[in-house]
Every structure is written in C-alpha cells, then in structure tokens.
C-alpha cells in the first residue's frame, strides 16, 4: 500500500502547530527578528537616482565610490545569502532536533499508531513539516532583509530568497540523518549531534576537491573520497546563492546534480529511519 | 516494505547519490566577478617602457643665476614632438601594445575576416605595415603623430601632391600647394629620422614639432608628461575642450563638466580586460563632488535604461562603472571584462592568428620589428 498525501500533510500540519507553541522556536524567531531590526535601524544607504552614493553602518562609512545601487549592494546580498544559507540550516539543526524524538515519546506514539496513519506517513509528515519550518524561517530572515534593503534603496535582491530555498534543499539531507538518529535512540541531543556532523561533513564534501590533496595519495585519500562521495554538497549549494547575489549566471547542470544528489542522500537516510521505525514495537 | 528491503533500498540510494555527486562534480564555479585592474597609476612595466623610450637629449634650460647648469634629461621623442596648442585635446594610442592586447587581436581578426587585404593594401601603397611598423599614434588638435619604423616608407604617394623639402637636421616636409579659395585645407606631412610621421592641415604644426625635437622651440607645458604615459590609451582634454567632446545632454552633464574641470585625463588599459579611468581635476572641490554624484546617478539610470531596452553591450559596459570622489578630483572607472569582449566579437569571423609578443610586446616600448 502506498502512503496517502493527505495523511502526510496532516502530520506536517500538526508539527507546524506544535512548533508554533514551542518557546525554543519562538526564541530563535525573535533572534532573527532582532537581527532584522538591527539592519533596519543601523544601515544607512544613500541612493541618488539608483546610484549608491554612500553607505554607513551605525555611522561608520563603508563605501568609497558612487556606483549603481544594485552593483554596490552585491557584497551585502552575498553576505546575507551566506548568512541565510548557513544560518538557516544551522537554525534547522538546533530548532528541529526535538521533533523526531518527541514523535516517539511514550504515550504519543501509541496514540498516533492507533490512528489510521502508516508509520511511513508519520516519518514523511514529520520530515515535510520540519522542511517547511526551516524554509519558512530562512525565507523570513532572507526576504525580510531583502525587503529592508529594498525599502532603503529601491533595489530588491533575490539572492536571500534563493539562499533560503537552497538552504531548504541542503537541509533535506541533514534532517533525514537527524530522523534516522532519533530512531536509533530517542534523544534530541543525539539527533542534533548527528545533524551537526552531517552539516559540517556537507561543507567539507562541497570542498573535497580542494581538501583531498591534503591527504596522502593512496588509502587515506581514497577513504576520504569514498566517505564524502554520497554526502550533500552543502557549500556548493551555498555558492549558487552567492552567484545569484553577484549577478552571475547559475549553472543549471551543477545545481541539478547537487540538488538531485542531496535528494537521493536524503531518501537513503529516510529509508534507514523508516526501517528502524518499522522494527520498533510500541 | 520490510525493514530489510528498506535498508537495501537505502544502500542503493546512497550508491546512486555517490555516483551522481561524484561523476557530476566539476571545478566549483567562481562566486565573485574577476577584479578589474584599473589604470590609476604608472605600473612597473610601463615605467620601464618609459625609461627605454627616453632617447632624446635636449639642451638643458639655462641655469638660474649662481646655480650650476642642470644636466640635460633624456626624454621621449614622441612626447616631445607633439605639436600641442593650449586648449587642444591630446589622445595617444599605444598602437603596438593595443595590437597585441586581447582587444587588438579580436579587432584585427574581425577586420581581416571582413577584408583580408585591409592592412596589406596600406603596406603596398606606403611601405608601412600597420600591424608591425606602428608603435604609437597621437591625435593632437588637428594633427596626427605616428611613431614606429618608417625606414621602408614610400614617399611616392605624398610626392604626387607635394615636393619634399628638408627642415632642420633630420626633418622632411611634404607641403602641398593650397587648393582654390574656399576648398578644404590639404594635409601636409613630415617625417623625422624614420621614427616619427606627422600629418596636419597646418604646416606650421609640422615645423614646430620638428623644431621641438631638435631643440629650436620649447616643448609646450600643455603636452603629456612622461609619468602620464601609461595604459594603452591616454590623453588630456583641457576643460575648455570638454564641452565640445562631451556635447550637450538632457542632464547638462557635459556643460557642468566643462565648467568645473580644469583638466580631464583619460587612461585605458586593454591588456586583458578593457578598463578605463577618466580623471577630472578642478579648483571647485564642491562642484566636483556634486558632479561626481550626478555622474554616478546618470550612469546608473543609463544602465537601467540599457537593461530595459535590451542594449546588452552598453549595460555590460556600465556594469562595473564607478565614480570615485576624491579631493578636488573625481575618477570615473569603466570596464568590460575580457570574456565579454570576446562575446562582443563573436560572429565576426575567426580571430587572426595571435602574433607572439616579441620585441614589440605591450610595455616593450617598440613595435614588433
């Protein structure tokens, strides 16, 4: 029997409702809002007919020449894109570590399994809910900053939004492993640790061509390359967002390879999570 | 699906991910645009080139009372020989360096693709190969000064209109008889030491240039000093001539430029990227600063208009445009990255075979021969 999309969405909706009630999620949201307010009040950008004549951050001049505002703002959008991408995925690791363990909490899981919902639907629904939460958080931060800059300069940059979307793509691989870890032991700490390891490993994997020569040719290098081969290329995905920020064309073939590879890795980790879940008796 | 099958599927998916990510892996694309090196000052190869070119020793100026006579400084004959008049613009093209630049090769390839005899025809008629014999070309008011190797120069073409007459120690003039009244002035030519070829509608320009070279006339202060001869194109536009150069525009920028600028310097570098710096100097610092803002805004608006009208070439030119507001001076920086230059020349036929930069390579101070 196949999973019902309706059930998967219902589980995801429940998760989002639960997230809204959590203080931890609200605190992180407040942190992002504080950063946005800091940018809104601290950044002074003087634009004359679409050219950036001067920029100041809390009174300190930070720009020398007069140039087209969208060109001058590229470094800012690049920084924001990286912040949204890496900050968004890290936010996901911290804020969402508890969702899968909470799903398996005694009492709750028995109740859920008594409903006409399959185990696979529970896993997929939780995964989808967390993905939507991370995407919403990243879009809130990225789009918020893009809108603040647009209000001050008239220039709207898509890079933070692209970074949020790419961050959500990269996070699929991270969170799938976090779910599998939660199935091994019902622990938010273990889930977060597994997520952090994949997050760092994904950054390393994105730079593996540059790192590989640091290993001795032979077994050490082969093991490094084999271990990093299936990992999501997180840093590569982040670079695509930086290219958008700098007005450079995207490489659709590379983007498709990296997004496709990440999806396959996430599917593999979810399959492991489901296999472990299926083996459990409640 | 049983847990065992799920684990087998997981392994298969992991292997597929590894295969896709490894075999599809390529060198990471750069996330930043390449930095353009703007010609803001004389760089070491250009300083060496300038030193090599200083081969003309003019008599030293008379010493001040009680002071020892200053040692004569060797100078660049090309810059000494420019027949500059106050208020007239001067623009110098480093023809040989430009020819060996990326832009030059693209341009030559394009010209040859359209007309394979474009340059050889000139060589047949004048004995000068424009691709090898020319070093620099200067436009000084109405005069043109060309430096290079003219030992194979065929004066027959000039002698159809004028008889040669010597001037000074090493000068030769071809001054045609004036035409009927009301007709356009005819161009006179001069050759100095097989090194400099000059042309002007005013024969006095040619005489004065040779006199400057041979120490019989002072070298005008309004010319180009040696330390300003950097980049592949450089020049000076006096403030008064700026209005004529920049014309009138809706924002009145040309007129404002002419009002506040006492002197405009232009430097362009085409070695790889095409990068240009236009430096405007003036006494009115507030006016210059105001103009800098207006120019920045005008460039930005022009870029938006170019994007809106799908004028890609102009939009790309303005992509890196920047105005730097200094103290009493502003610099306008414009650049076209090398790869975009190539894109502009696409469809113009295959590029002419690159000539290896030998003796006359950019920064070498002389043409290829």
3-state secondary structure of A66: strand
CA distance A123 to A8: 8
| A68/B303 touch (CB, cutoff 8 Å), yes or no | yes
Inform me whether the C-beta atom of residue A37 falls under 8 Å from chain B C-beta atoms.
no
> How far does chain B reach from its first CA to its final CA, in angstroms?
80
Residue numbers of B between 29 and 58 with CB closer than 8 Å to A:
29-33
SS3 content of chain A, % helix, strand, coil (to 5): 75, 5, 20
Alpha-carbon span B168 to B56, nearest angstrom: 16
* pLDDT score for A64: 57
* Cβ–Cβ gap A243/B10 under 8 Å: no
Cα–chain center distance at B228:
12
Q: Is B66 exposed, middle or buried (0-12, 13-18, 19+ CB in 10 A)?
A: exposed
- Alpha-carbon distances, residue A46 vs A55, A57, A268, B241 (angstroms): 6, 11, 50, 33
pLDDT, average across residues B203-208: 93
In B293-322, the residues whose Cβ lies within 8 Å of chain A are 293, 295-301, 303-304, 318-322
B7 to A243: CB separation less than 8 angstroms, yes or no = no
pLDDT at residue B166 is higher than 90: yes
Convert the pLDDT of each residue in B275-301 to its tens digit. Answer: 899 888 888 888 888 888 888 877 877
Contact A110, A79 (CB under 8 A): no
Whether B22 and chain A come into contact, CB under 8 Å, resolves to yes
Residue among B1, B18, B315 with most chain A CBs within 10 A, to mutate: B18
Is some CB atom of chain B closer than 8 A to the CB atom of A248?
A: yes
Q: Does B59 touch chain A (CB under 8 A)?
A: no
| pLDDT at site A231 | 94
Q: A179 is written with which tokens?
A: 């779910």
pLDDT at B108 over 70: yes
Looking at beta carbons, which residues of chain A come within 8 Å of B323? Answer: 51, 65-67
Identify any residues that bridge with B171 across adjacent strands, giving them in sequence order.
Answer: B167, B192
Contact B242, B254 (CB under 8 A): yes
Determine, for residues A49 and B301 on separate chains, whether the beta-carbon distance falls below 8 Å.
yes
Among partner residues B15, B20, B300, which is closest to A51 by beta-carbon distance?
Answer: B300
pLDDT at B12 (0 to 100): 94
pLDDT for res B11: 93
Cβ–Cβ under 8 Å, residues B197 and B146: yes
Contact B246, B332 (CB under 8 A): no
Q: What is the ipTM of this complex?
A: 0.83
Q: Taking 60 as the threshold, does the pLDDT of residue A124 lie above it?
A: yes
A48 touches chain B (CB under 8 A): yes
The chain A residue lying nearest B5, using CA atoms, is A275
d(CA A151, CA B255): 34
Q: At what angle do helices A252-279 and B3-23 cross, to 10 degrees?
A: 160
- The residue of chain B with its CA nearest to that of A245 is B31
- The whole-number average pLDDT for the span A183-188 is 90
Chain-centroid distance, C-alpha A133 = 10
Rounded CA Rg of chain A: 21
CA B237 to chain centre: 14
CB pairs under 8 A between A and B: 148
| Section A245-259 average pLDDT | 88
Residue-range domain boundaries for chain A: 5-42+69-279
Angstroms from B227 CA to nearest CA on chain A? 25
User: What does the pLDDT average to over B330-352?
Assistant: 74
Q: Is A67 on the interface with B (CB under 8 A)?
A: yes
How sure is the predictor about B94, in pLDDT bands with cuts at 50, 70 and 90? very high
Which of A132-141, A167-176, B180-189, B232-241 is the most confident on average? A167-176
pLDDT in tens, A52-78: 555 554 445 444 567 777 787 888 888
pLDDT in tens, B133-159: 899 999 998 899 999 999 888 888 888
Average pLDDT of every residue of chain A: 85
Q: How far is CA A135 from the centre of its chain?
A: 7
- Rounded Cα–Cα distance for residues A187 and B57 (Å): 87
pLDDT band at A175 (very low <50, low <70, confident <90, very high): very high
**Per the structure block, which two tokens stand in for B137?**
């070309």
Cβ within 8 Å, pair B297-A71? no
- Residues B34/A249, Cβ–Cβ less than 8 Å: no
Entry pTM: 0.68
B80: nearest Cα among B220, B201, B192, B188: B220
Chain B segment 134-153 residues within 8 A of A by beta carbon are: none
| Residue B350 contacts residue B112 (beta carbons within 8 Å) | no
Q: Of the given ranges (A66-75, A256-265, B184-193), which has the lowest mean pLDDT?
A: A66-75
Subunit contact B299:A69, Cβ cutoff 8 A: no
The residue among A54, A65, A277 with the most chain B CBs within 10 A of its CB, best to mutate, is A65
Rounded distance, CA A117 to CA A99, Å?
18
Rg (CA), chain B: 27
B97/B105 Cα distance (integer angstroms): 10
CB atoms A278 and B295 under 8 Å? no
Cα distance between the two ends of chain A: 22
Crossing angle for the helix pair A119-153 and A159-184, nearest 10 degrees? 150
């Amino acid at each position: 029997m196949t999973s019902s999309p309706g059930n998967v969405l219902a589980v995801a909706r429940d998760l989002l409702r639960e997230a809204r009630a959590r203080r931890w999620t609200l605190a992180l949201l407040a942190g992002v809002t504080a950063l946005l307010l800091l940018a809104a009040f601290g950044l002074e950008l003087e634009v004359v007919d679409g050219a950036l004549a001067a920029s100041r951050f809390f009174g300190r001049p930070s720009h020398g020449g007069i140039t087209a505002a969208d060109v001058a703002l590229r470094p800012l959008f690049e920084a924001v894109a990286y912040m949204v991408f890496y900050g968004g995925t890290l936010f996901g690791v911290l804020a969402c570590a508890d969702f899968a363990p909470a799903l398996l909490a005694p009492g709750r899981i028995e109740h859920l399994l008594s409903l006409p919902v399959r185990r696979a639907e529970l896993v997929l629904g939780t995964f989808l809910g967390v993905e939507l939460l991370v995407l919403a958080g990243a879009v809130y931060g990225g789009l918020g900053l893009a809108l603040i800059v647009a209000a001050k300069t008239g220039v709207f940059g898509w890079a933070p939004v692209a970074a949020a979307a790419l961050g959500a793509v990269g996070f699929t691989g991270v969170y799938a492993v976090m779910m599998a870890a939660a199935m091994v032991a019902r622990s938010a700490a273990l889930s977060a640790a597994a997520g952090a390891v994949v997050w760092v490993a994904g950054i390393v994997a994105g730079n593996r061509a540059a790192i590989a020569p640091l290993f001795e040719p032979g077994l050490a290098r082969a093991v490094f390359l084999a271990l990093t081969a299936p990992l999501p290329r997180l840093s590569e995905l982040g670079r695509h967002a930086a290219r958008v920020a700098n007005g450079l064309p995207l490489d659709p073939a590379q983007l498709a390879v990296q997004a496709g590879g990440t999806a396959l890795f996430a599917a593999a980790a979810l399959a492991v999570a489901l296999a472990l879940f299926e083996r459990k008796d409640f | 699906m049983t847990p065992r099958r799920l684990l087998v599927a997981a392994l298969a998916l992991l292997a597929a991910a590894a295969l896709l990510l490894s075999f599809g892996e390529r060198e990471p694309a750069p996330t930043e645009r390449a930095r353009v090196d703007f010609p803001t000052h004389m760089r070491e190869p250009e300083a060496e080139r300038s030193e090599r070119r200083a081969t003309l020793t003019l008599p030293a100026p008379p010493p001040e009372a009680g002071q020892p006579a200053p040692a004569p400084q060797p100078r660049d004959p090309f810059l000494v020989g420019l027949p500059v008049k106050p208020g007239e613009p001067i623009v110098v093209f480093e023809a040989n360096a430009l020819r060996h630049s990326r832009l030059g090769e693209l341009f030559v390839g394009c010209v040859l693709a359209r007309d394979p005899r474009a340059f050889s025809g000139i060589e047949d008629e004048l004995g000068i190969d424009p691709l090898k014999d020319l070093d620099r070309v200067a436009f000084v008011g109405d005069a043109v000064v060309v430096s290079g190797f003219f030992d194979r120069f065929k004066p027959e073409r000039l002698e159809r209109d004028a008889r040669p007459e010597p001037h000074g120690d090493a000068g030769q003039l071809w001054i045609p008889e004036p035409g009927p009244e009301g007709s356009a002035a005819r161009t006179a030519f001069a050759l100095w030491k097989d090194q400099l070829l000059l042309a002007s509608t005013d024969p006095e320009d040619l005489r004065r240039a040779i006199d400057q070279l041979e120490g019989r006339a002072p070298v005008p202060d309004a010319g180009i000093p040696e330390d300003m001869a950097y980049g592949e194109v450089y020049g000076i536009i006096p403030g008064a001539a700026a209005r004529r150069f920049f014309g009138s525009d809706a924002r009145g920028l040309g007129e404002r430029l002419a009002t506040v600028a006492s002197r405009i310097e232009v430097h362009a570098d085409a070695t790889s990227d095409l990068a240009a710096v236009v430096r405007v100097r003036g006494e009115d610092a507030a006016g210059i600063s105001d103009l800098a803002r207006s120019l920045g805004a005008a460039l930005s608006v022009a870029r938006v208009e170019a994007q809106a009208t799908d004028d890609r070439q102009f939009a790309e030119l303005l992509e890196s445009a920047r105005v730097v507001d200094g103290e009493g001076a502003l610099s306008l920086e414009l650049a076209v990255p090398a790869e975009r230059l190539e894109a502009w020349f696409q469809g113009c036929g295959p590029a002419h075979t690159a000539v290896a930069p030998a003796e006359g390579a950019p920064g070498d101070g002389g043409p290829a021969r």
